[in-house]
Amino acid sequence: DIQMTQSPSSLSASVGDRVTITCRASQGISSWLAWYQQKPEKAPKSLIYAASSLQSGVPSRFSGSGSGTDFTLTISSLEPEDFAIYYCQQRSDWPPTFGGGTKVEIK
Amino acid sequence: EVQLVESGGGLVQPGGSLRLSCAASGFTFSSYAMHWVRQAPGKGLEYVSAISSNGGSTYYANSVKGRFTISRDNSKNTLYLQMGSLRAEDMAVYYCAREDGRWGQGTLVTVSS
C-alpha cells in the first residue's frame, strides 16, 4: 500500500493566519491526490481533487499544489470555520490510502 | 441534491453479522463507483471496500477480506456492506462515499459483548 504522511499532525493558528499542511506519498502518485476537511461529529468534506482543483463551493482561500510525492494544502487566511482536521488521500492505487490527518486548532 | 444516507449500524456481539445500506439520491447512481470508508472512535480514516459502477469489480482492505462483502442494487440506488465475523477492531463509523468524494453522514457500528 502507498503510505501517506502528513505534517504537522497538529498546529495552532489564529484567524487570518496563512496555514500550510504538507502530505508526502511513499511513491509517486502523479496528481492523484485529494484533500478533505472534517469537523467534529461530521463526515469528511471534499475540498480539493487532482492535487489542485477546487471542489465546487469551496472557498478560494483553499488551494492545493504538488505532484509526484510532495503535496501542499494552503489556507491563505484562516477563518473561524476552518478549524478542523484535514486529511490527504491518494487515488493513484488501491487502496486509496489516507494520511494521518492534521488538526488545525485555535491559538 | 446529492444525498447518501447510511443505515443499519448498531450494537453487535463479537463474531456477529450486520448489513449496512447506503441509499443514494440526486444523481445517476449506476454511473459511479462507490466506496465504504470507516473511522474508529478518535482515529483516522480507513478504506474498507469499493465496487465499480456496474458491480463487476470489487475491492477489499486486507483487514476485512473474507469477512465483508460489498454489493449494490442499481435498480434501488442502494449500496450494501455485509459484515460478518465482526471483531472489536471493526467498531467504527462507516461512511459510504461516491468515487468523486461525496460522503454520507455515516452509521455507527459497535462491536461489544
Residue A94 has pLDDT above 90, yes or no: no
**pLDDT tens string B55-93:** 999 999 999 999 999 999 999 999 999 999 999 999 999
Identify the pLDDT of residue B91. 98
CB of B95 within 8 Å of any CB in chain A? yes
The answer, yes or no, to whether residue A95 has pLDDT greater than 90, is no
Say yes or no: B100 contacts chain A, CB-CB below 8 A: yes
Mean pLDDT of the region A57-82: 97
- The three cell numbers locating residue B16: 456477529
Q: What pLDDT is stored for residue B13 in this prediction?
A: 97
pLDDT band at A3 (very low <50, low <70, confident <90, very high): very high
Structure-block grid coordinates of residue B36:
465504504
For residue A85, the chain B residue with the least C-alpha distance is: B44
**Bridging pattern class, strands B10-12 and B107-111:** parallel
Question: Cα–Cα distances in Å, from B22 out to A37, A67, A91, B46?
Answer: 22, 33, 22, 18
Cβ neighbours, 10 Å, residue B113: 9
Grid coordinates 478542523 are at which residue? Answer: A84
Inter-chain contact A43–B106, Cβ cutoff 8 Å?
Answer: yes
Q: Using 50, 70 and 90 to split pLDDT, how confident is the model at A106?
A: confident
Question: What is the DSSP code (8-state) at residue B103?
Answer: B
Q: Quick check: A107 pLDDT over 90?
A: no
Verify cis geometry, omega within 30 degrees of 0, for the bond prior to A95: yes
Please tell me the predicted confidence (pLDDT) of residue B68. Answer: 98
Q: Which of B44, B102, B106 sits opposite A46 (nearest CB)?
A: B102
pLDDT in the model for residue B101: 87
Of B50, B59, B95, the CB nearest to A43: B95
